[in-house]
Amino acid sequence: MKNIRFVLLMILCAPLFVVGQSARVFTLKGKVVDVEGILDNMIYLKFAQNGVSLIDSAKLSNGEYSFSGEIMYPTKATIQLKVADSVERYHMQTRFLRDYTHEFYIDGGHLVASAPKKMNSTIVEGSAADSDRQRLDALLKPLYTSNDKLYREYGDRAYREKDSVAIAAYLKQSYATTGKIDSIEKDFLFSHPQSGIALDLLQDYTRSMLEFSEIASFFAQLQPDLRNSVEGQKYAERLQQAEKTAKGTVAPDFTLKDREGREVSLSSLKGKVILLDFWGSWCFPCRQTHPHLRELYVMYRDKGFEILGVANERGDESQNYKKWTQALDEDQMTWVNLLGTAKGSIGPDVPSIYSVSAYPTKVLIGRDGNIIRRFVGSGKEAADELDKLLAELL
Protein backbone atom coordinates (compact mmCIF):
# COMPACT_ATOMS: atom_id res chain seq x y z
CA MET A 1 0.00 0.00 0.00
CA LYS A 2 1.24 3.43 -0.89
CA ASN A 3 1.70 6.01 1.84
CA ILE A 4 -1.67 7.49 2.76
CA ARG A 5 -2.02 11.22 2.31
CA PHE A 6 -4.20 12.96 4.87
CA VAL A 7 -6.38 15.84 3.71
CA LEU A 8 -7.95 17.52 6.71
CA LEU A 9 -11.58 18.52 6.48
CA MET A 10 -11.25 20.88 9.42
CA ILE A 11 -8.79 23.64 10.26
CA LEU A 12 -7.70 21.76 13.35
CA CYS A 13 -6.54 18.20 12.92
CA ALA A 14 -9.31 15.76 13.85
CA PRO A 15 -8.20 12.52 15.52
CA LEU A 16 -8.27 9.48 13.25
CA PHE A 17 -8.61 7.23 16.29
CA VAL A 18 -11.38 8.00 18.76
CA VAL A 19 -11.64 6.55 22.26
CA GLY A 20 -13.85 3.48 22.24
CA GLN A 21 -13.02 2.44 18.69
CA SER A 22 -10.95 -0.52 17.57
CA ALA A 23 -9.14 -0.80 14.25
CA ARG A 24 -10.48 -3.12 11.53
CA VAL A 25 -8.01 -4.44 8.97
CA PHE A 26 -9.13 -4.54 5.34
CA THR A 27 -7.76 -5.66 2.01
CA LEU A 28 -9.31 -4.65 -1.29
CA LYS A 29 -8.29 -6.54 -4.41
CA GLY A 30 -9.94 -5.83 -7.69
CA LYS A 31 -9.90 -5.72 -11.44
CA VAL A 32 -11.25 -3.27 -13.98
CA VAL A 33 -11.55 -4.21 -17.65
CA ASP A 34 -12.20 -0.89 -19.40
CA VAL A 35 -9.51 1.71 -18.63
CA GLU A 36 -9.92 3.70 -21.84
CA GLY A 37 -9.31 7.42 -21.42
CA ILE A 38 -7.46 7.32 -18.10
CA LEU A 39 -4.42 9.61 -17.73
CA ASP A 40 -2.18 7.33 -15.70
CA ASN A 41 -1.92 3.69 -14.79
CA MET A 42 -3.19 4.27 -11.25
CA ILE A 43 -6.37 3.77 -9.25
CA TYR A 44 -7.30 5.89 -6.22
CA LEU A 45 -9.15 4.91 -3.05
CA LYS A 46 -10.83 7.71 -1.07
CA PHE A 47 -12.79 7.66 2.19
CA ALA A 48 -13.05 9.56 5.46
CA GLN A 49 -12.61 8.57 9.11
CA ASN A 50 -13.48 10.80 12.07
CA GLY A 51 -13.39 14.00 10.03
CA VAL A 52 -10.19 13.18 8.13
CA SER A 53 -10.14 12.49 4.37
CA LEU A 54 -7.88 9.63 3.33
CA ILE A 55 -6.49 9.09 -0.16
CA ASP A 56 -4.49 6.06 -1.27
CA SER A 57 -3.26 5.03 -4.70
CA ALA A 58 -2.22 1.77 -6.33
CA LYS A 59 -0.73 0.81 -9.67
CA LEU A 60 -2.82 -1.09 -12.19
CA SER A 61 -1.23 -4.25 -13.53
CA ASN A 62 -3.27 -5.72 -16.38
CA GLY A 63 -6.24 -3.96 -14.83
CA GLU A 64 -5.66 -5.50 -11.40
CA TYR A 65 -5.02 -3.56 -8.19
CA SER A 66 -4.70 -4.04 -4.46
CA PHE A 67 -5.13 -1.92 -1.33
CA SER A 68 -4.77 -2.73 2.36
CA GLY A 69 -5.10 -0.74 5.55
CA GLU A 70 -7.19 -0.10 8.63
CA ILE A 71 -10.53 1.59 9.28
CA MET A 72 -12.26 2.41 12.55
CA TYR A 73 -15.84 1.92 11.31
CA PRO A 74 -17.64 1.19 8.01
CA THR A 75 -17.92 4.22 5.77
CA LYS A 76 -18.63 5.31 2.20
CA ALA A 77 -15.60 5.00 -0.05
CA THR A 78 -14.81 5.71 -3.70
CA ILE A 79 -12.46 3.96 -6.10
CA GLN A 80 -11.65 6.19 -9.01
CA LEU A 81 -9.56 6.39 -12.18
CA LYS A 82 -7.92 9.66 -13.19
CA VAL A 83 -9.44 11.33 -16.24
CA ALA A 84 -8.88 14.64 -18.01
CA ASP A 85 -10.16 17.80 -16.31
CA SER A 86 -12.46 18.37 -19.30
CA VAL A 87 -14.14 15.02 -18.65
CA GLU A 88 -14.62 15.92 -14.97
CA ARG A 89 -16.15 19.28 -15.95
CA TYR A 90 -18.45 17.61 -18.47
CA HIS A 91 -19.89 15.26 -15.85
CA MET A 92 -20.27 18.09 -13.33
CA GLN A 93 -22.16 20.22 -15.86
CA THR A 94 -24.39 17.46 -17.25
CA ARG A 95 -24.70 15.53 -13.98
CA PHE A 96 -24.27 12.33 -15.96
CA LEU A 97 -23.02 9.40 -13.89
CA ARG A 98 -19.25 9.28 -13.77
CA ASP A 99 -18.36 5.94 -15.32
CA TYR A 100 -14.79 6.16 -14.03
CA THR A 101 -15.75 5.92 -10.34
CA HIS A 102 -17.59 3.56 -8.02
CA GLU A 103 -18.96 4.33 -4.55
CA PHE A 104 -19.34 1.58 -1.97
CA TYR A 105 -19.07 0.95 1.77
CA ILE A 106 -15.63 -0.10 2.92
CA ASP A 107 -15.58 -2.48 5.89
CA GLY A 108 -13.12 -4.73 7.64
CA GLY A 109 -12.22 -8.03 5.96
CA HIS A 110 -11.09 -9.29 2.58
CA LEU A 111 -12.90 -7.33 -0.11
CA VAL A 112 -12.96 -8.28 -3.79
CA ALA A 113 -14.05 -5.82 -6.48
CA SER A 114 -14.77 -6.66 -10.10
CA ALA A 115 -15.73 -4.27 -12.91
CA PRO A 116 -16.71 -6.21 -16.05
CA LYS A 117 -17.17 -2.96 -17.98
CA LYS A 118 -16.51 0.62 -16.88
CA MET A 119 -15.51 1.39 -13.29
CA ASN A 120 -19.09 2.21 -12.32
CA SER A 121 -20.08 -1.41 -13.07
CA THR A 122 -17.99 -2.55 -10.09
CA ILE A 123 -19.44 -5.08 -7.66
CA VAL A 124 -17.76 -5.35 -4.26
CA GLU A 125 -17.95 -8.59 -2.28
CA GLY A 126 -16.77 -9.26 1.26
CA SER A 127 -17.94 -5.97 2.82
CA ALA A 128 -20.82 -6.60 5.22
CA ALA A 129 -21.83 -2.94 5.02
CA ASP A 130 -21.81 -2.83 1.23
CA SER A 131 -23.77 -6.09 1.05
CA ASP A 132 -26.52 -4.31 3.01
CA ARG A 133 -26.31 -1.34 0.65
CA GLN A 134 -26.67 -3.65 -2.35
CA ARG A 135 -29.70 -5.40 -0.82
CA LEU A 136 -31.40 -2.08 -0.12
CA ASP A 137 -30.58 -0.77 -3.62
CA ALA A 138 -32.15 -3.89 -5.14
CA LEU A 139 -35.38 -3.19 -3.23
CA LEU A 140 -35.43 0.46 -4.31
CA LYS A 141 -34.31 0.15 -7.93
CA PRO A 142 -37.76 -0.74 -9.41
CA LEU A 143 -39.31 2.27 -7.67
CA TYR A 144 -36.64 4.70 -8.85
CA THR A 145 -36.98 3.25 -12.37
CA SER A 146 -40.75 3.75 -12.16
CA ASN A 147 -40.36 7.37 -11.09
CA ASP A 148 -37.85 8.06 -13.87
CA LYS A 149 -40.23 6.57 -16.43
CA LEU A 150 -43.12 8.58 -15.01
CA TYR A 151 -41.14 11.82 -15.39
CA ARG A 152 -40.09 11.01 -18.97
CA GLU A 153 -43.62 10.11 -20.05
CA TYR A 154 -45.64 12.71 -18.13
CA GLY A 155 -43.66 15.05 -15.89
CA ASP A 156 -41.27 16.49 -18.46
CA ARG A 157 -44.05 17.42 -20.87
CA ALA A 158 -46.26 18.81 -18.09
CA TYR A 159 -43.51 21.14 -16.88
CA ARG A 160 -42.52 22.21 -20.40
CA GLU A 161 -46.12 23.09 -21.23
CA LYS A 162 -46.68 24.63 -17.79
CA ASP A 163 -49.86 22.58 -17.49
CA SER A 164 -50.81 22.94 -13.81
CA VAL A 165 -53.42 20.16 -13.95
CA ALA A 166 -50.98 17.73 -15.55
CA ILE A 167 -48.24 18.75 -13.10
CA ALA A 168 -50.54 18.07 -10.16
CA ALA A 169 -51.47 14.65 -11.58
CA TYR A 170 -47.80 13.81 -12.16
CA LEU A 171 -46.78 14.92 -8.66
CA LYS A 172 -49.56 12.86 -7.06
CA GLN A 173 -48.21 9.68 -8.68
CA SER A 174 -44.59 10.63 -8.06
CA TYR A 175 -45.21 11.37 -4.37
CA ALA A 176 -46.96 8.01 -3.98
CA THR A 177 -43.86 6.24 -5.28
CA THR A 178 -41.59 8.39 -3.13
CA GLY A 179 -43.70 7.40 -0.13
CA LYS A 180 -43.06 3.73 -0.92
CA ILE A 181 -39.31 4.44 -1.18
CA ASP A 182 -39.34 6.15 2.22
CA SER A 183 -41.27 3.25 3.74
CA ILE A 184 -38.81 0.64 2.42
CA GLU A 185 -35.82 2.65 3.66
CA LYS A 186 -37.41 3.04 7.10
CA ASP A 187 -38.23 -0.66 7.38
CA PHE A 188 -34.70 -1.61 6.34
CA LEU A 189 -33.17 0.85 8.80
CA PHE A 190 -35.12 -0.29 11.84
CA SER A 191 -34.62 -3.97 11.03
CA HIS A 192 -30.83 -3.57 10.59
CA PRO A 193 -29.55 -1.55 13.59
CA GLN A 194 -26.16 -3.31 13.48
CA SER A 195 -25.57 -2.57 9.80
CA GLY A 196 -22.56 -0.52 8.80
CA ILE A 197 -24.86 1.74 6.78
CA ALA A 198 -27.32 2.33 9.65
CA LEU A 199 -25.92 5.70 10.79
CA ASP A 200 -26.11 7.15 7.27
CA LEU A 201 -29.65 5.83 6.84
CA LEU A 202 -30.59 7.23 10.24
CA GLN A 203 -29.28 10.69 9.34
CA ASP A 204 -31.30 10.64 6.11
CA TYR A 205 -34.44 9.44 7.89
CA THR A 206 -34.22 12.15 10.55
CA ARG A 207 -32.96 14.94 8.30
CA SER A 208 -36.10 17.03 8.70
CA MET A 209 -37.47 15.68 11.99
CA LEU A 210 -35.92 13.78 14.89
CA GLU A 211 -38.42 12.38 17.39
CA PHE A 212 -36.42 11.53 20.51
CA SER A 213 -38.78 8.83 21.79
CA GLU A 214 -38.50 6.97 18.48
CA ILE A 215 -34.76 7.31 17.91
CA ALA A 216 -32.97 7.24 21.28
CA SER A 217 -33.25 3.49 21.92
CA PHE A 218 -32.47 2.69 18.29
CA PHE A 219 -29.32 4.82 18.28
CA ALA A 220 -28.06 2.86 21.30
CA GLN A 221 -28.21 -0.31 19.19
CA LEU A 222 -25.81 0.94 16.51
CA GLN A 223 -22.33 -0.53 16.23
CA PRO A 224 -20.24 1.00 19.06
CA ASP A 225 -17.56 2.13 16.59
CA LEU A 226 -20.20 4.03 14.60
CA ARG A 227 -21.66 5.63 17.72
CA ASN A 228 -18.18 6.63 18.90
CA SER A 229 -17.13 8.12 15.56
CA VAL A 230 -17.04 11.89 15.09
CA GLU A 231 -20.20 11.60 13.00
CA GLY A 232 -21.85 9.44 15.66
CA GLN A 233 -20.92 11.87 18.44
CA LYS A 234 -22.37 14.78 16.45
CA TYR A 235 -25.57 12.84 16.01
CA ALA A 236 -25.64 12.06 19.74
CA GLU A 237 -25.41 15.82 20.41
CA ARG A 238 -28.32 16.40 18.06
CA LEU A 239 -30.26 13.67 19.85
CA GLN A 240 -29.50 15.27 23.19
CA GLN A 241 -30.77 18.62 21.91
CA ALA A 242 -33.92 16.99 20.54
CA GLU A 243 -34.65 15.52 23.96
CA LYS A 244 -35.22 19.03 25.30
CA THR A 245 -38.24 19.49 23.04
CA ALA A 246 -39.42 15.87 22.86
CA LYS A 247 -43.06 14.88 23.21
CA GLY A 248 -44.20 15.42 26.81
CA THR A 249 -41.49 17.91 27.77
CA VAL A 250 -42.17 21.47 28.87
CA ALA A 251 -41.93 23.79 25.86
CA PRO A 252 -38.92 26.10 26.38
CA ASP A 253 -39.92 29.69 26.97
CA PHE A 254 -38.64 32.54 24.79
CA THR A 255 -39.37 36.20 24.14
CA LEU A 256 -39.38 37.97 20.76
CA LYS A 257 -40.96 41.14 19.34
CA ASP A 258 -44.15 41.49 17.31
CA ARG A 259 -44.61 43.88 14.38
CA GLU A 260 -45.30 46.79 16.76
CA GLY A 261 -42.07 46.12 18.64
CA ARG A 262 -43.79 44.74 21.73
CA GLU A 263 -42.13 41.85 23.52
CA VAL A 264 -44.19 38.66 23.62
CA SER A 265 -43.20 35.49 25.46
CA LEU A 266 -44.45 31.98 24.95
CA SER A 267 -45.22 31.73 28.66
CA SER A 268 -47.64 34.66 28.41
CA LEU A 269 -49.95 32.36 26.43
CA LYS A 270 -49.89 29.51 28.94
CA GLY A 271 -53.31 28.02 29.58
CA LYS A 272 -54.10 27.97 25.87
CA VAL A 273 -53.52 25.28 23.28
CA ILE A 274 -50.68 26.80 21.24
CA LEU A 275 -49.44 25.98 17.77
CA LEU A 276 -45.90 27.23 17.21
CA ASP A 277 -45.45 27.90 13.50
CA PHE A 278 -41.84 28.17 12.29
CA TRP A 279 -41.91 29.78 8.85
CA GLY A 280 -40.36 32.46 6.65
CA SER A 281 -41.57 34.75 3.86
CA TRP A 282 -39.16 32.97 1.50
CA CYS A 283 -40.64 29.53 2.26
CA PHE A 284 -43.36 28.67 -0.27
CA PRO A 285 -44.39 25.38 1.45
CA CYS A 286 -44.71 27.30 4.75
CA ARG A 287 -47.05 29.82 3.22
CA GLN A 288 -49.09 27.09 1.56
CA THR A 289 -50.16 26.04 5.06
CA HIS A 290 -51.43 29.47 6.08
CA PRO A 291 -54.93 29.20 4.51
CA HIS A 292 -55.45 26.07 6.62
CA LEU A 293 -54.19 27.89 9.71
CA ARG A 294 -56.64 30.75 9.02
CA GLU A 295 -59.49 28.24 9.03
CA LEU A 296 -58.31 26.67 12.28
CA TYR A 297 -57.86 30.05 13.95
CA VAL A 298 -61.40 31.15 13.12
CA MET A 299 -62.76 27.80 14.30
CA TYR A 300 -60.93 27.56 17.63
CA ARG A 301 -59.64 30.98 18.75
CA ASP A 302 -62.62 31.50 21.06
CA LYS A 303 -62.08 28.07 22.60
CA GLY A 304 -58.61 28.76 23.96
CA PHE A 305 -56.50 28.21 20.82
CA GLU A 306 -53.62 30.46 19.78
CA ILE A 307 -51.15 30.32 16.92
CA LEU A 308 -47.71 31.77 17.59
CA GLY A 309 -45.74 32.37 14.41
CA VAL A 310 -41.95 32.60 14.59
CA ALA A 311 -40.52 33.93 11.33
CA ASN A 312 -37.00 33.08 10.23
CA GLU A 313 -36.01 35.52 7.48
CA ARG A 314 -33.02 35.22 5.16
CA GLY A 315 -30.83 37.56 3.15
CA ASP A 316 -30.25 41.22 3.87
CA GLU A 317 -31.02 41.65 7.59
CA SER A 318 -32.09 45.26 7.04
CA GLN A 319 -34.95 43.97 4.85
CA ASN A 320 -36.18 41.30 7.27
CA TYR A 321 -38.91 43.39 8.86
CA LYS A 322 -40.27 44.56 5.51
CA LYS A 323 -40.37 41.05 4.00
CA TRP A 324 -41.93 39.63 7.15
CA THR A 325 -44.71 42.21 7.54
CA GLN A 326 -45.49 42.12 3.82
CA ALA A 327 -45.98 38.35 4.06
CA LEU A 328 -48.13 38.79 7.19
CA ASP A 329 -50.47 41.06 5.23
CA GLU A 330 -50.49 38.98 2.06
CA ASP A 331 -51.31 35.78 3.96
CA GLN A 332 -53.83 37.53 6.25
CA MET A 333 -52.13 36.20 9.38
CA THR A 334 -54.16 37.75 12.21
CA TRP A 335 -52.71 35.59 14.98
CA VAL A 336 -49.67 36.42 17.11
CA ASN A 337 -46.52 36.62 14.99
CA LEU A 338 -42.96 37.32 16.08
CA LEU A 339 -39.79 37.99 14.13
CA GLY A 340 -36.92 35.67 14.98
CA THR A 341 -33.46 37.07 15.57
CA ALA A 342 -30.93 36.81 12.74
CA LYS A 343 -27.99 34.44 13.03
CA GLY A 344 -25.25 36.02 15.12
CA SER A 345 -27.60 38.65 16.56
CA ILE A 346 -28.24 39.15 20.23
CA GLY A 347 -31.36 37.28 21.21
CA PRO A 348 -32.76 33.75 21.42
CA ASP A 349 -32.19 31.43 18.46
CA VAL A 350 -35.64 29.88 18.80
CA PRO A 351 -35.42 27.48 15.80
CA SER A 352 -32.24 25.98 17.28
CA ILE A 353 -33.82 25.76 20.74
CA TYR A 354 -36.65 23.74 19.17
CA SER A 355 -34.30 21.70 16.92
CA VAL A 356 -35.94 22.99 13.75
CA SER A 357 -34.05 21.61 10.74
CA ALA A 358 -36.71 21.98 8.03
CA TYR A 359 -39.43 24.45 7.11
CA PRO A 360 -42.30 24.52 7.77
CA THR A 361 -42.15 23.01 11.27
CA LYS A 362 -45.07 23.28 13.66
CA VAL A 363 -45.13 22.33 17.35
CA LEU A 364 -48.41 21.75 19.17
CA ILE A 365 -48.36 22.66 22.89
CA GLY A 366 -51.05 21.75 25.41
CA ARG A 367 -52.70 23.96 28.01
CA ASP A 368 -50.21 22.65 30.59
CA GLY A 369 -47.29 23.96 28.52
CA ASN A 370 -46.10 20.49 27.47
CA ILE A 371 -45.29 19.54 23.88
CA ILE A 372 -47.90 17.27 22.29
CA ARG A 373 -46.76 16.80 18.71
CA ARG A 374 -44.36 18.09 16.06
CA PHE A 375 -45.29 18.44 12.40
CA VAL A 376 -42.85 18.93 9.52
CA GLY A 377 -43.79 19.78 5.95
CA SER A 378 -46.90 21.02 4.19
CA GLY A 379 -48.48 17.67 3.32
CA LYS A 380 -52.13 16.71 3.78
CA GLU A 381 -51.27 13.95 6.24
CA ALA A 382 -49.80 16.45 8.73
CA ALA A 383 -52.76 18.80 8.27
CA ASP A 384 -55.26 15.98 8.88
CA GLU A 385 -53.43 14.89 12.03
CA LEU A 386 -53.42 18.46 13.34
CA ASP A 387 -57.17 18.73 12.67
CA LYS A 388 -57.79 15.52 14.57
CA LEU A 389 -55.74 16.58 17.60
CA LEU A 390 -57.33 20.02 17.82
CA ALA A 391 -60.81 18.51 17.64
CA GLU A 392 -59.90 16.28 20.58
CA LEU A 393 -58.30 19.07 22.63
CA LEU A 394 -60.83 21.81 21.96
Encode the chain (394 residues) as per-residue pLDDT tens digits: 443 333 323 323 445 556 667 889 999 999 988 877 777 889 999 999 999 999 999 999 989 999 999 999 999 999 999 887 777 777 677 667 788 899 999 999 999 999 998 889 999 999 999 999 999 999 999 999 999 999 999 999 999 999 989 988 998 899 889 889 999 999 999 999 999 999 999 999 999 899 998 999 999 999 999 999 999 999 999 999 999 999 999 999 999 999 999 999 999 999 999 999 999 999 999 999 999 999 999 999 999 999 999 999 988 888 999 999 999 999 999 999 999 876 555 668 999 999 999 999 999 999 999 999 999 988 888 999 999 999 999 9
Q: Could you give phi then psi for residue 223, rounded to 5 degrees?
A: -55, 130
Query: Alpha-carbon dihedral of residues 15, 16, 19, 20, nearest 10 degrees?
Result: 160
21 burial level (CB within 10 Å; 0-12, 13-18, 19+): buried
Distance CA 320, CA 327 (A): 11
Q: What is the pLDDT of residue 10?
A: 35
CATH 3.40.30.10 correct for 255-393: yes
Q: What is the pLDDT of residue 98?
A: 81
What pTM does this model have?
0.83
Q: Whose CA is closest to 371, among 206, 205, 212?
A: 212
Q: Same CATH fold, 255-393 and 5-126?
A: no
Q: What is the pLDDT of residue 86?
A: 75
Q: What is the pLDDT of residue 1?
A: 43
Q: What is the pLDDT of residue 9?
A: 34
Q: Whose CA is closest to 36, among 87, 75, 74?
A: 87
Query: Where do the structural domains in the chain lie, given as residue ranges?
Result: 5-126, 132-243, 255-393
The reply to whether omega before 224 is within 30° of 0 (cis) is: no
Query: Alpha-carbon dihedral of residues 370, 373, 374, 380, nearest 10 degrees?
Result: -150
Q: What is the pLDDT of residue 8?
A: 29
Which one is the CATH code of 5-126: 2.60.40, 2.60.120, 2.30.29, 2.40.10? 2.60.40
Q: What percent helix, strand, coil does the chain show, rounded to 5?
A: 40, 25, 35
- Count CB neighbours of 59 within 10 A: 12
Cα angle vertex 162, ends 97, 174, to 5°?
50
Q: What is the pLDDT of residue 16?
A: 56
Distance CA 152, CA 196 (A): 35
Q: Which amino acid is at 372?
A: I
Distance CA 333, CA 310 (A): 12
